[in-house]
Amino acid sequence: MSVAVLSFTAFAFSQVGTPGPANMAMMATGARYGFRAALPFVGGVLFGKQLIIWPIGFGLMELSVQMPILFLFLKYVSAAYIIWLAWRVANMRLYTDDRNILVPGFMAGLWVHPFNPKAWAMIVTGFTNFVGPETSTLLATATIAACLFSIQLICHPAWTYFGDRIARIVSGKPSERYLMWVLAFLTVSFVAYALFRGEL
């Protein structure tokens, strides 16, 4: 097959399933609002990655060669957005029974991956390392999109549920503040790692 599906799936699982800005955001959202309430946000995150995959597949990489300054700017804007999210996570209080709180919804989740350096790096790597040179653009893009969506469908709810479970253990305790600061620190660390390795 023109796309190395099995190899790419293994690679994608290693990326989607491990900690990163998006997983930290979903974990924190599950912890703060509960698993069920966070599901619309998770749905937005699921579909948000498609906003990156298809433009990259249909020529965004060529544009990046022609306009490197624009992409350098977008790279740091994206990092700033994720760091801002991390600051919000650091100052969150965990799950509460207050039903009047505003829970982030689908649209909030939709923009997590477009501003996530790890997501861009993963998708670019997918196209450059797992797609044969003679593969049609549509086949390559559709295959990568389907593989990533399937893996996200497993991993993203799992991270959100994990956050919900943790919240039930530490909510209202001194360890709550430390947990949220650790999540924020990890988020910033993963962004910095992607930036300084030059993956974008």
Number of domains in the chain: 1
In a domain, 200, yes or no: no
In a domain, 187, yes or no: yes
Q: Is the pLDDT of residue 51 over 90?
A: yes
Q: Is the pLDDT of residue 116 over 60?
A: yes
Match 């689908």 to its residue by tokens.
Answer: 106
In a domain, 66, yes or no: yes
In a domain, 183, yes or no: yes
Containing structural domain, residue 58:
5-195
pLDDT at 196: 67
**When comparing pLDDT for 1 and 166, which is higher?**
166
pLDDT at 199: 45
The phi and psi torsions of 135 (rounded to 5 degrees) equal -70, 140
DSSP of 131-189: B-TT--HHHHHHHHHHHHHHHHHHHHHHHHHHHHHHHHHHTTSTHHHHHHHHHHHHHHH
Q: What is the pLDDT of residues 80-115, one digit of tens each?
A: 766 776 777 677 665 555 545 678 899 999 988 888
First to last CA, the chain: 28
Cβ atoms of 93 and 32 within 8 Å: the answer is yes
Entry pTM: 0.72
